[in-house]
Structure 1
Amino acid sequence: MPPAVLPARPSSLPTRRTVLRGLGVGSLALGGAGLLGACSSRETQDAKAVSAGAGFTITDQRGKKVSFDGPVERIATAIIPSPSMLAAVDGRYDRIVGINESTLTANRQGVFGTLFPASRTTTTIAGADFVPNVETIMKLKPDVVLQWGDMGDEVIAPLENAGLKVIGLTYGTQEMMETWITIFGTLLGKKERASTLLDRMHDEDTAVRALVEQYRASTAQKVLYLKAASDGFTTATGSDYMTHWTELAGGTNVAHGLSADAPQVSTEQILAWDPDVILLSAFDEKAPADLFADKALSPVRAVRDRRVYKVPLGGYRWDPPCCESPLMWRWAAQILNPRTASRNGLRERIKETFDLLYGYDISAAETDQVLRLDLNAKSAGYDGFRA
């Protein structure tokens, strides 16, 4: 069915520091209901594609036109979340020849490496700073390189100076993510499939909101997102994607009002916020057991009630925008509203999604792995994700 058209809310663009820190939480949520319906990227998108015989032209998110004479068969990308999205739009991994080091780590840790074994050994072309290894990229002979479009010339100019075609992308909001899907649909010759994925996202937005609607009348639960840092934790602010899926699920981000990107969070601040729920990033090894064992955090409501959870890791980490984001919305909805478990059907949605995106029949054991049943075993209500 066609997506509902919902009113958009004003927003500001995300900063690169949020992405550069690798938290994956992206940036701005674009606020609640306005996000999905209003941003039909096929109508108001930054990626305008024009067919030209056997070739085509894409206007990337820098506003630069990039033309191709024919099909694109070899893609190198320095951008961490893009390979899983390329594979989802393409239905295969075969065209990806170069990736970021962080992507390789995720592929080896999660189920994506099982879906596409080649992803575990793909050549790396950039690290956490996204500066491209041009010599390595040239040896891969890509038809196109995907790179951040808002990090300055230092990450793009070396590629273009070497004569490579570069598509510059920006990231952090649902709208930007939908634009990626549209760009990739054109780049891969899969426009109809890209449209199908977007329509499914719009439908899931409507469905998840309906799932939690009856609980919205009560006071929204306070949610804190934490990512491990060398000297403690950082969190996600109101301009991060985490705020989108938290609010969609019926909660509120306790760090919403903070202005800094990925700010440090002290134990004293966590105690002051006293969140009802704590969600731990999929970008590090910190687990609920670590917080349960931390005596300094024992007075915190979420710790006391054992409502601390590790974010799932599917084809990609579920914290930031990706093609599996609708699964994150359902997961967050059930975390905040355990009574929805019998109606949520997340495990079945995972099965359907992996079949649609990757052509893969995920097993029950692999679904357990995605949902981090081992790490979340002692967290309150997590047995609801077993059925």
Structure 2
Amino acid sequence: MPPAVLPPHPASPPSRRTVLRGLGAGSLALGGAGLLGACSSRDAQDTGAKSPEAGFTITDQRGKKISFDGPVTRIATAIIPSPSMLAAVDGGYDRIVGINESTLTANRQGVFGTLFPASKTTTTIAGADFVPNVETIMKLAPDVVLQWGDMGDEVIAPLESAGLKVIGLTYGTQEMMETWITIFGTLLGKSERATALLDRMHDEDTKVRALVDPYRKAAAPKVLYLKAASDGYTTATGSDYMTHWTELAGGVNVAHDIAADSPQVSTEQILSWDPDVILLSAFDDKAPADLFGDKALSPVRAVRDRRVYKVPLGGYRWDPPCCESPLMWRWTAQILHPEIASRNGLRAQIKDTFDLLYGYGISAAETDEVLRLDLNSKSAGYDGFRA
């Protein structure tokens, strides 16, 4: 049985280019606002699947069927966010033998490397362009390779030509992320666990919306998401996942109506938007102090009121869709509505989530690191995230 679902929340799907730029090193945040709880695409993934011990078949997001004779024990993935999600569904990291170099960077920077020390030395099989190193992958002898299913032959054909089994995935919306969880549940022989994770995610959606519902009658806070680029900043538009969690938390994305993918943002444009809140991507090193010290941005309301915040880095970066996304929803809700701090319970949710996803008892100090208390220490209201 598929998990109980919530009514869908309409939004525009992302373009593939938007998502890929968000995943690549030195590029913008991922995603696209999706249809939370829309389960039609998830339902198809387990169709005809048997227990992993007896052999099973998965239909990937290209619509291609991939059959396995028995349990999958070695997984290589060129896709950046998938290792943390595989580990969450599996409850461990032991089956992952190859990852993207950007994932390796995140593992070494964040708490994931503490959760799973092997993740800091895992062999890299692709870079920011996702082109696989087939020779390296063949040496790893994986049972399956996870790769983008809609980037064209350049990234997937060399793998299949080498005789490797490849699951092609697409990404960017809540619905697609939930599809991944279901596919991974089948792949790992953990379908019941995957369903439980989705049920919990839907329950969290309901609870976060209830927390912020009393504030929806007032003008929604204007939110700007910024990702550092070589010539300034890029932002997230209405088709990005950032819009999903911003709106869920009761805010509005000031760049919602821009049509371009990963658009460049000038100082003049930021001044024109005059956002109430600025959120800085977890994909780069920009910190609130950088904006507070920028005289050109000093007239901006978010800068003037010190409402600039660095996005947390947990088992994975919280900007894009992942199994920790409900934590991002709660974090954003408290950023936009600091008065809910006493009722939000984010730190307790982090502890429960890390225990559930990774079997890890996260400490108070590690929770501080996840929440970037050091980088956000001068930002307004951030004391509300302390223990």
Give the deviation of 1:318 after TM superposition: 0.0
Partner Cα separation in structure 2 for residue 248 and residue 196 of structure 1: 22
Which residue in the other structure is 2:354 paired with?
A: 354
For 1:12, give the aligned amino acid: P
Q: How far apart, in 1, do the equivalents of 2:239 and 2:48 lie?
A: 29
What residue in structure 2 maps to residue 342 of structure 1? 342
Instruction: Note the alpha carbon deviations across 1:249-308, whole angstroms, 9 max, x for none.
Output: 000000000011111000000000000000000000000000000000000000000000
Alignment map for 1:11-26 (pairs within 5 Å): 11-22=12-23, 23=27, 25-26=29-30
What is the distance in 1 between the residues matched to 2:187 and 2:271?
A: 48
Q: Alignment RMSD, CA only?
A: 1.4
Mark the CA change 1:38 to 1:315 in structure 2 (over 3 Å): closer, same or farther.
Answer: same
Question: 3-state DSSP class of the match of 2:37?
Answer: helix
Say yes or no: does 1:91 pair with 2:91: yes
Match of 1:308, as an amino acid?
A: V
Q: Report deviation, 1:224.
A: 0.1
Matches within 5 A, 1:134-173: 134-173=134-173
Separation in 2, partners of 1:310, 1:207 = 24
1:126 paired to 2:130? no
Aligned counterparts of 2:47 and 2:239: Cα–Cα separation in 1? 26
Q: Which ranges in structure 2 are unaligned for 5 or more consecutive residues?
A: none
Shift of 1:47: 6.0
* Preserved CA contact (<8 Å) 2:84 2:315: yes
Deviation at 1:56, TM superposition (A): 0.4
Letter in 2 for 1:151: M
Cα distance per residue 1:359-384 (max 9 Å; x no partner): 00000000000000000000000000
Match of 2:220 in 1: 220
Q: Distance in 1 between matches of 2:185 and 2:137?
A: 23
Residues 114-263 of structure 1: pairs in structure 2 closer than 5 A:
114-263=114-263
**1:76 deviation in Å?**
0.2
Structure 2 residue aligned with 1:29:
33
Give matches, 1:69-80, under 5 Å: 69-80=69-80
Name the SS for the 1:228 alignment partner: strand
CA distance in 2, matches of 1:12, 1:369: 32
SS in 2 for 1:38: coil
The amino acid of 1:268's aligned partner reads E
Contact in 1 for aligned 2:87/2:357 (Cα 8 Å): yes
- C-alpha change, 1:254 and 1:286, in structure 2 (3 Å) is same
Q: Distance in 1 between matches of 2:11 and 2:133?
A: 38
| TM-superposed deviation, 1:51 | 1.6
Query: Which amino acid is 2:74 matched to?
Result: R
Partner Cα distance (2:290, 2:13) in 1: 35
Q: Once the 2 structures are TM-superposed, how far is the Cα of residue 27 of structure 1 from its aligned partner?
A: 2.8
Q: Post-superposition shift, 1:50?
A: 1.8
- Tell me the secondary structure at the aligned position of residue 203 of structure 2: helix
Q: Distance in 1 between matches of 2:234 and 2:45?
A: 31
Contact 2:46 2:186 in 1 (8 A): no
Specify the code of the residue in structure 2 equivalent to 1:50: A
**Kept after mapping to 2: 8 A contact 1:182/1:191:** yes
What is the distance in 2 between the residues matched to 1:299 and 1:379? 16
1:319-350 CA distance string (max 9 Å, x none): 00000000000000000000000000000000
- 2:59 corresponds in structure 1 to 59
C-alpha distance after superposition, 1:191-214 (max 9, x if no partner)? 000000000000000000000000
Q: Distance in 2 between matches of 1:101 and 1:49?
A: 35
2:179 aligned counterpart, secondary structure: helix
Task: Tell me whether 1:284 sits opposite 2:284 in the alignment.
Answer: yes
Q: Letter of the 1:14 partner, please give it.
A: S
**Residues 53-93 of structure 1 deviation map (CA, whole Å, 9 limit, x = unaligned):** 71000000000000000000000000000000000000000
CA apart distance, 1:36: 1.9
Instruction: Tell me what 2:6 maps to.
Output: 5
For 1:243 and 1:13, the matched residues in 2 are separated by 11
| Residue identity matched to 2:233 | F
Q: State the SS of the aligned residue for 2:98.
A: strand
- The alpha-carbon deviation at position 18 of structure 1 amounts to 3.0
Between the aligned partners of 2:256 and 2:30, the Cα distance in structure 1 is: 14
Q: 3-state DSSP class of the match of 1:257?
A: coil
Percent identical: 82
**What is the letter of the counterpart of residue 371 of structure 1?**
L
Residue 51 of structure 1 aligns to a residue whose secondary structure is coil
- For residues 296 and 322 of structure 1, do their structure 2 counterparts lie closer, same or farther at Cα, with a shift above 3 Å needed? same
- Partner of 2:67: helix, strand, or coil? strand
1:49–1:59 CA contact under 8 A, matched in 2: no
Q: Which amino acid aligns with 1:366?
A: E
Over residues 185-242 of structure 1, what are the superposed CA-to-partner deviations in whole Å (9 max), with x where a residue is unaligned?
0000000000000000000000000000000000001000000000000000000000
How much has 1:4 moved relative to structure 2? 4.8
Output the TM-score relative to the length of structure 1: 0.96
Q: Does the C-alpha gap of structure 1 residues 98 and 329 become closer, same or farther in structure 2, counting only changes over 3 Å? A: same
TM-score (norm 2): 0.96
The one-letter code matched in structure 2 to 1:225 is: Y
Q: Distance in 1 between matches of 2:248 and 2:213?
A: 10
Q: Is residue 50 from structure 1 mapped to residue 43 from structure 2 by the alignment?
A: no
